[in-house]
Amino acid sequence: MKTEELIKMKIKIENAIEEELKKRSGKVTLKLRYNLYKGTGKCWVAVIDPVTKEKRGFLNPISVNKDSAHAGEKILELQEGQTYMINEMGTKTRDTRKIILISEGQIKEVL
């Protein structure tokens, strides 16, 4: 084999290992935006019961990055196998609310 082929193979293997480790870690990073002048001005993530959709508790962000005095971004870590309700800045009068499930290291929306 040529050196170039070996380097390409090494990069593919490293990428595959990195993806597998991300799946096994069981955590997914999520970024939510907030703006006091849009919707309620808040963003949050709640752990919910998958059957009843009842909120069990809210997650604290890992970090909060402010763009200005009234807008910014929150970064949260979500656990594998949990069901969450997400509330984020939407239009001027409404927030965007979704129910998601973390499965195989990915975010899947639940209807």
105 and 28 in contact (C-beta within 8 Å)?
Answer: yes
pLDDT at 22 over 80: no
The model carries a pTM of 0.72
Tell me if 56 sits within 8 A of 42, measured CB to CB: no
Task: Write out the DSSP string of 53-72.
Answer: --EEEEPPPSEEEESSSSEE
Tell me the β-bridge partners of 32. Answer: 74
Is the pLDDT confidence value at 10 over 80? yes
Alpha carbons 79 and 31: distance in angstroms, whole number = 14
User: Per-residue pLDDT tens for 43-92?
Assistant: 999 999 999 999 999 999 999 999 999 999 999 999 888 899 999 988 88
The Cα–Cα gap between 87 and 34 comes to 9
